[in-house]
Amino acid sequence: MKIEPILLESLTAITGHDGVLTGAAATPYGKDWRGRYANEALAVVFPSSTQQVSEVVKLCAANKISIVPQGGNTSLCGGSVPLAGPLPQIIINLSRMNRVRAIDATNYTMTVEAGCKLESLYAAPEAADRLFPLGLTAVAPHCEIGGNLSTNAGGINVLRYGTARNLVLGLEVVLPDGRIWDGLRSLRKDNTGYDLKQLFIGAEGTLGIITAAVVKLFPRPKSVAIACIAVRDPAAAVALLAHLRARCGDTIDAFEFIARSSLDLVFKHIPDTHEPFADKPEWLVITRLTDVLPAPLDGALRDALQSFGPGVAEFEVTADSAYAERWWRLRKNVAEAQKAEGLSIKHDISVPISRVAEFLAQAGDTLRKAFPGIRIVAFGHMGDGNIHYNISMPDAAQNKAFMQQHESEVHHLVYGIVAKLQGSIAAEHGLGQLKREQITHYKSELELELMRSIKRTLDPHGLMNPGKVV
């Protein structure tokens, strides 16, 4: 797929010659993080300002060229790469727009550009003794805040702080016709009609391109306690979470669980990882308490765990975050270990917290009966009911054939149970192109029509990230 010389000339006039890649140089940007999708674009464009984004979008709109917005390209559902086929598409990569425009410590806000790497936004408010709490795991070193907002990212801190949607006060967005909507407000109360920013958060770039955001900051914790816990089963973990919330309140900011199958992959593929307990647990929980008060928390956490009952087989508590990092490495590297192991059929689902154990039991029984010998890798954010639930064969060499033959059937079985338990088939990764067709079976016709009507209103020509979400 070659770009017309006059279009290339127009793009370079906007961004400069070093702001446009074509041919082999553009190829890596058309491949997703998981390696499932790999398609070509006419060009990859790197604007350095909102005005440049606007001009590129206007040029694409005038020439009926589709646009794929892209940040760190860590989408797990193919949302940040082009579709296959002859449709002319240009990737607009926002990585050069990486400034922290302002920090207002008194208002507890930070104004950031879309290309800021998420990890950089942890350090930026530290000098003002503030915290930005969006905490992801596997892709955190690479992902960018624009992509996090466009997918309504979740992560390990949702239990206390909420998803990305809960952390945004205002947005700046380039619309599909190139106009710039300046909604960079830092108000906690603004009751002047529709909350337009919420249209673009979680829309995966299908309604416009987020170029900047005003995000909430919080006080930095002064005390911490982390526990690694061997639990009897998922039902015990769910009950433990309820118990800890009753005893420790909102000091809990994370409650993660990992199945034995997940741990085994981490130990196999990730160096310097070790069993936390001599008796290898089938289910592991990592939880954390934090508080802005400097009083120790480890004693309270230890007391709460000791008072829980027989569902906890063994635990260790520490107030040393560096020491606890050896536990967090087990959780944070499950996705990387799975990637090293090879292909799998992935699910990012959520159910009410009270029904997590029910889901795991029903899905496990159903899948093992349908596909004897499969491996189920389950892990995730039990604190908000979000489970990463992935299916493969123990022999990686069999996975490609297994996926080709059974992927749709596995999805049907898993998502059917999710729907019965009143859950969601996309908890924090979005729909992208991976689940675009699947969602039509699990949303009502009215919901789908409302989504399509919003898309038609804002993007009547269907040029903005086509083939994703709706």
Same domain, yes or no: 277 and 196: no
Q: d(Cα 334, Cα 261) in Å, to the nearest integer?
A: 10
Region 153-169: mean pLDDT is 94
Q: What is the pLDDT of residues 315-358, one digit of tens each?
A: 999 999 999 999 999 999 998 999 899 889 999 999 999 999 99
> Which is higher by pLDDT, 400 or 281?
281
Provide mean pLDDT across the span 175-201. Answer: 97
Note the pLDDT of residue 229.
98
Domain count within the chain? 4
Would the pLDDT of 139 be above 60? no
User: What is the span of the domain harbouring residue 328?
Assistant: 223-335
Residues 300 and 387 in one domain: no
Task: Report yes or no on 435 lying in a domain.
Answer: no
Q: Give the per-residue pLDDT at 87.
A: 83
**pTM for this model (two decimals):** 0.93
Mean pLDDT of 136-153: 85
* Mean pLDDT for the stretch of residues 25-29: 93
* Co-location of 325 and 359 in the same domain: no
Judge if 105 and 187 occupy the same domain: yes
Q: Please check whether residues 324 and 381 belong to one and the same domain.
A: no
Q: What is the mean pLDDT of residues 14-36?
A: 91
* Average pLDDT of the chain to the nearest whole number: 95
Is residue 141 predicted with pLDDT exceeding 80?
A: no
Tell which of 188, 219, 250 closes a domain: 219
pLDDT of residue 105 exceeding 80: yes
Q: How does residue 138 score in pLDDT terms, banded at 50, 70 and 90?
A: low
Q: Does 468 map to a domain? A: no
- Report, as an integer, the average pLDDT of 216-230: 97
Per-residue pLDDT, 333? 93
> Would residue 292 count as lying in a domain?
yes
Percentage of the chain surpassing pLDDT 70?
99
**Based on the domain organization, do 55 and 107 belong to the same domain?**
no
pLDDT tens by residue, 368-425: 999 999 999 999 999 999 999 999 999 988 988 999 899 999 999 999 999 999 999 9
Residue 140 pLDDT: 61
Percentage, residues of the chain above pLDDT 90: 89
Q: Assess whether 207 and 192 both reside in one domain.
A: yes
Please check whether residues 215 and 152 belong to one and the same domain. Answer: yes
Q: Does 49 fall in a domain?
A: yes
Q: Mean pLDDT across the stretch 118-133?
A: 94
Rounded average pLDDT over 268-276: 96
Domain CATH number, residue 274:
3.30.70.2190
Choosing from 335, 369, 399, the residue where a domain stops is 335
Note whether 143 and 214 are same-domain residues. yes
Give yes or no for residue 5 having a pLDDT over 90.
no
What is the arithmetic mean of pLDDT over 242-256? 96
**Residue 447, domain member (yes or no):** no
Q: Do 113 and 213 lie in a common domain?
A: yes
76 and 21, same domain (yes or no): yes
Is residue 276 domain-shared with residue 320, that is, in the same domain? yes
For residue 136, pLDDT over 90 is answered with: no
Residue at which a domain ends, from 71, 93, 115: 93
Q: Point out the least confidently predicted range of 2-6, 50-54, 140-144.
A: 140-144
CATH number at residue 137: 3.30.465.10
With respect to residue 19, please indicate whether it lies within any of the assigned structural domains: yes
